[in-house]
Amino acid sequence: MTVADRVRLTNLSTVSPPFETTPELAPIKLSFFDVRWVCLYPISSVLFFQIDDSLFPSFLHNLKKSLSQALKHFRPIAGKLVYSPSSTELEIDCTDSSVTVIEAESDVDMWRLSGDDFHDVPVFRALVPELETKKLPAPLFSVQVTRFTGGGVVIGTSIHHVAMDGLSSWCFFKSWAEMCRTGEHAVGPTISWDRSVFRDSFGLEVARLYLEQLAPALPEVPTTFPAFIQDPSQLTRRTFTLTSTNIHFLKTLAMQGNDHGGTPGAISKFVAVSAHAWVCNLRAKGANNDEDCCLIFAVDCRQHFSPLLGKSEYFGNCIKPCLVRAKAHQLCGQDGFKFSIRAIRTAIREALEEPLRDCKTWAGYISSLPVHRMNIAGSPRCGVYDTDFGLGRPRRYEIVSMNSEGFVGLSDAREGGGIQLSVTFSPLHMDKFASFFLDGLDGGKTED
């Protein structure tokens, strides 16, 4: 049976902001924080929910109605990414704004599909909508709602990263969910799209530098990706859910015999779990002593500019790459985990001391990375499991667009205080990683 037989498309429609609330809106000129994502494949994810099959029609109606109302406050999400030759800039055009909504049905076992140990990657990919971004103008956001036989629904989304980073996207999702759950449309969040703080002469110079390096033939967008992007069908996926007990154990282990100037709580969940995953990744791959290794993740810069950019008010991208470099012997030895903790914390501190110090290198850093690299996307701070469309907390959240060996998707866990970690590896390395990862935790129950 083909994937098309297992996930069948049944309807396609568009949702727009309420007509009476759509006055003309000037194009939003993007900053270099946005522009550097112009060539990235869409960020796709799925939220699994339990629902009685008889309630699905009314839920779908409310979902689309509340999306329209949410776009009243987040209208640029329904816009198009365009290129202005006169100004040589990327912009979001908000005229004729709308979002494509795809409806689908499936008889796949949703409960098994949303479990930790069974990741049917082709079906996952069939649960998110296509977003054509290879030629401008290009859409920024689309939705797919899949109804499962016997109850259950998946909300799949695809987002163009130029429009928003993780904090902004989950601000939108939670606002949309609240409108769907409560029916309250009168009050929406206060959102700022103002990028003027990044659009001085230096900021414009950096943005144009990025476009020259990444997409010199606009409105055509390059279709080639860095060499480490792989065919998802050649990779396996697995999810691990760490409890608060597991995380406390990692923090305590990191503090033993070291003067960190604080208690276990001074080490964040993100740092503790990322350090453990990085070390296990290298051990699973059998990295040699003198080989270069790199961990890559994003750090939020909102609170490191003057005037401060409020986390809930500024909508767009305000993250920079953070690269942690080391030799394999430093990470795979007896004290590798503690070394990893120190290296990650140092890299974060240095990255945020002067956030824009190295910004001219952000567009080209990927080409210089070593073979042994791990990329972490997401953050437990986004609170994805607080996204309630009126069906309760999601049964499962997953990033679908995980297309490289050693890619890690990180989020909060369904149960409070934990962390969910999803990884992609070649079949050759997955079992080894799982063994190292689970053996490195204490006796507290860990789901996998």
**What CATH code is carried by the domain that includes residue 80?**
3.30.559.10
Torsion sign, CA atoms 116, 131, 25, 318 = positive
Q: What is the mean pLDDT of the chain?
A: 88
User: Distance between CA atoms of 371 and 373, rounded to whole angstroms?
Assistant: 6
420 CB contacts (<8 Å, ≥6 apart)? 239, 240, 241, 242, 397, 410, 411, 412, 413, 414
The percentage of residues in the chain with a pLDDT greater than 70, rounded to a whole number, is 90
Could you give the CA distance from residue 346 to residue 143 in angstroms, rounded to a whole number? 39
| Domain edge (last residue) among 184, 214, 244 | 214
- Residue 6: CB partners within 8 Å, gap ≥ 6? 106, 107, 108, 123, 126
Q: How far apart are CA 439 and CA 158, in angstroms?
A: 35
Same domain? For 239 and 181 the reply is: no
14 domain-assigned? yes
Residue 226 in domain = no
Q: Does 222 reside within a domain?
A: no
Q: Report if residue 220 sits inside a domain.
A: no
Positive/negative CA dihedral, 350, 351, 357, 363: positive
What is the predicted pLDDT for the residue at 258? 59
| Token pair listed for 41 | 């494949």
pLDDT digits (tens, 9 = 90+) for 422-437: 999 888 899 999 999 9
The answer on 98 and 144 residing in a single domain is: yes
Do 142 and 99 meet the contact criterion of CB atoms below 8 Å apart? yes
Asked if residue 243 and residue 210 are part of one domain, the reply reads no
Instruction: Look at residue 391 and tell me whether its pLDDT is greater than 60.
Output: yes
Q: HSE (CB half, 13 Å, CA atoms) of 209?
A: 14
List, for residues 279-336, the tens digit of each pLDDT value.
Answer: 999 999 888 888 899 999 999 998 887 666 655 578 999 999 999 999 989 998 888 9
pLDDT in tens, 215-253: 999 999 987 655 555 666 678 899 999 999 999 999 999
Together in a domain, 290 and 163: no
Domain finish residue from 183, 214, 245:
214
**Pair (42, 124) in one structural domain:** yes
Segment 370-379, tens digit of pLDDT: 788 899 999 9
| pLDDT for position 444 | 44
pLDDT at 271 over 70: yes
Same domain, 49 and 135: yes
Instruction: Give the pLDDT band (50/70/90) at residue 187.
Output: very low
More confident residue, 366 or 336: 336
Residue 127 lies in a domain: yes
Confidence (pTM)? 0.93
Which of 163-177, 196-210, 297-311, 392-406 is least confident?
297-311
pLDDT of residue 405: 84
Q: What is the pLDDT of residues 66-123, one digit of tens each?
A: 999 999 889 999 999 999 888 889 999 998 899 999 999 999 988 888 877 768 888 9
Angstrom distance (rounded) from CA 369 to CA 53 = 48
| pLDDT at residue 21, as a whole number | 56
Structural domain includes residue 221: no
Same domain, 164 and 243: no
Same domain assignment for residues 201 and 259: no
Q: Do 287 and 329 fall within a single domain?
A: yes
Whether 25 and 91 map to the same domain: the answer is: yes
The residue from 153, 185, 214 where one domain ends is 214
Judge residue 310's burial from the number of C-beta atoms within 10 Å of its C-beta, 0-12 exposed, 13-18 middle, 19 or more buried: exposed
What's the pLDDT score for residue 56?
Answer: 95
Domain that holds residue 13: 3-214
Output the pLDDT for position 348.
96
Q: Following DSSP, what letter does each residue of 262-282 receive, concatenated?
A: S-GGGS-HHHHHHHHHHHHHH
pLDDT in tens, 145-172: 999 997 899 999 999 999 999 999 999 9
pLDDT for 224: 62
Q: Are residues 92 and 42 in the same domain?
A: yes
- Please tell me the distance from the alpha carbon of residue 268 to that of residue 278, in angstroms, as a whole number: 15
Rounded distance between C-alpha atoms, residue 253 and residue 238, angstroms: 25
The reply to whether 376 falls in a domain is: yes
The domain total for the chain is 2
CB 37 within 8 A of CB 202: no
- Residue 217: its pLDDT value, please? 93
Q: Is residue 52 part of a domain?
A: yes
Q: Indicate the range of 182-196, 254-268, 426-440 predicted with least confidence.
A: 254-268
**What phi and psi values does residue 154 have, to the nearest 5 degrees?**
-120, 130
Distance CA 39, CA 134 (A): 8
